[in-house]
Amino acid sequence: MRHMLIVGWLVMVLLAGCGQQAAPQVPATAPQAELVVFAAASLTNAFTEMGQDFEARNPDATVVFNFAGSQQLAQQLGQGAPADVFASANARQMEVAIEAGRVVSNTQQIFVNNRLVVVVPADNPGEIATLQDLAQPGLKMVLAAEDVPVGEYSRAFLDKAAASGEFTADYRDAVLANIVSYEENVRAILTKVALGEADAGIVYTSDVAPNEADQVQQIDIPDTLNTIAAYPLAAVSDTAQPALTEAFLAYVLSPEGQATLAEYGFIPVLQAGS
């Protein structure tokens, strides 16, 4: 009798369960579209803010940055690293990406310009007041490696200075003799100088952001000796987000994007006459 009562109770429970409605499923959230931007290290501050602005304009998008020396980024692209946008600090590394088949030739466009400046620590232990002082024996200088765009531009400055007649004939060699390290990107140069690990370095004017201005002093390089660095921008040919990529390129070249770049010390393309 007891056995039959238990069986009956179980049947009632099962029947009651069958009558209940299944709990409603929460609809899955639509995945964010991810835009991967490979950008020169000197663009770190400006592009970080621009990425946030772009996301605000495109709520379904997430911008992921890979900041490094342009030569490192071009190499990664050549090795097949997934990306949607490449912003280089010079044309040479963009050509490397084109030769690797990751960027279609003639689709790149100059989106901003930059110029060089010498930086010394805030307390200036090397007592450097002029460009000529960079040749003083015993100074500790840092430059970018030769295959880094800013390293190439820095050597062009030294060549122009040595040929100008305003510096000693051995100026270039004397400055290079003071180099204690060659860095893989411009941000590393600024960091070493700001920390007092070097007496001087050559960076872009855009690298000395407002929050870093009190950590270094700047010595201008005149236009006759300077190099106006032209930054090319392009979509990666196998982008997984073609529409979003085009939207980002358009934003960088828009008045709003150009204004943000100008705030960080870059020279907008319209101002430079490009």
Backbone φ and ψ of 84, nearest 5°:
-120, -30
CATH of the domain at 189: 3.40.190.10
In the chain, alpha helices (H): 2-19, 44-57, 70-78, 91-99, 149-164, 171-177, 186-194, 242-253, 255-263, 269-272
Please indicate, yes or no, whether residues 136 and 210 belong to a single structural domain of this protein. Answer: yes
Domain assignment present for residue 18? The answer is no
Please indicate, yes or no, whether residues 175 and 139 belong to a single structural domain of this protein. Answer: yes
Q: Are 264 and 46 in contact (CB under 8 A)?
A: yes
Q: Report the alpha-carbon distance of residue 19 to residue 16 in Å, rounded.
A: 5
Region of 196 on the Ramachandran plot (φ > 0 left; ψ -120 to 50 alpha; else beta): left
Q: What is the pLDDT along the chain (274 residues), one digit of tens a residue?
A: 434 433 344 334 344 444 444 433 434 445 689 999 999 999 999 999 999 999 999 999 999 999 999 999 999 999 999 999 999 999 999 999 999 999 999 999 999 999 999 999 999 999 999 999 999 999 999 999 999 999 999 999 999 999 999 999 899 999 999 999 999 999 999 999 999 999 999 999 999 877 777 899 999 999 999 999 999 999 999 999 999 999 999 999 999 999 999 999 999 996 444 4
Q: Report the alpha-carbon distance of residue 88 to residue 86 in Å, rounded.
A: 6
Tell me how many domains the chain contains. 2
Question: Residue 79: which domain range?
Answer: 33-113+230-272
Domain assignment present for residue 66? The answer is yes
Last residue of a domain, one of 199, 220, 241: 220
Please indicate, yes or no, whether residues 123 and 215 belong to a single structural domain of this protein. Answer: yes
Q: Of 39, 166, 58, 29, which is closest to residue 97 (Cα–Cα)? A: 39
Please indicate, yes or no, whether residues 213 and 248 belong to a single structural domain of this protein. Answer: no
